[in-house]
Amino acid sequence: MKPVSLFVFGVLVLMVADTPLPQGARTMSDALADRGDLLFRDSFSDGVRPEWQFDRDSVWSIRDGHLRAEMPEQRQLRSFAFMGNPQWRDYALDFDVCGMRGVDKGVAIRVDGDRKGVGIDLRGPRYNDILMYRGFEQWGRAPIPNTNGTWYHLHIEARKNRYRVFVDGELQIDFMDELNSRPRGRVALAAYTGGVGACVVLYDNVEVRAIR
């Protein structure tokens, strides 16, 4: 899959409503407090909070304490769950993600009012890698095995013009944007059916902290 704009990146769709819930979702801990002032935190234990904005309400729901995206069975469909302040500049984002069906699962950071941002895509079956890109420009890629039905923890840092992406505590991408082309913006969790026409993805333990 060629990395494209924020709206052409993916995450998985459910074809079977009773897909079994995967095991291993992590719980959040205040041990992360040294990363900076807390800007946002949600473990989805109290339903959908008003801070979330969905471009397709029918896609997103809370199931068993997780935020779940379930897309129709059709190729190249996408949906986003937005959160945060468009004026956020330097921050660290943590979240747990589990793809249930499809290939892609991920997020966009520093998303502006036109819904453009920096995409991070953890691609599973057939690809087994992680991509970072802005528009049609790939900013980083690293091979990393990942499978459907398994939880992964992503830690993403956007500090001035430097971006770092960790998967399960291991640094995978370290990129400097010399133009500092995306200096601020909010967060968007993604659901995308891609070329396989399938997407079901679970998110949990979303946390954003300011960093200097």
Mean pLDDT of 54-67: 96
* Domain definitions of the chain by residue range: 6-16+45-210
Sign of CA dihedral 37, 40, 41, 45: positive
- State yes or no: pLDDT of 1 exceeds 80: no
Summarised one tens digit per residue, pLDDT across range 69-121 is 999 999 999 999 999 999 999 999 999 999 999 998 999 999 998 889 999 99
Summarised one tens digit per residue, pLDDT across range 168-206 is 999 999 999 999 999 999 999 999 998 899 999 999 999
Q: What is the percent of the chain with per-residue pLDDT over 70, rounded to a whole number? A: 83
Mean pLDDT of 17-28: 45
Q: With bands split at pLDDT 50, 70 and 90, how would you rate the model's confidence at 35? A: low
The matching CATH number, chosen from 1.10.30.50, 3.40.50.300, 2.60.120.560, 3.20.20.70, for 6-16+45-210 is 2.60.120.560
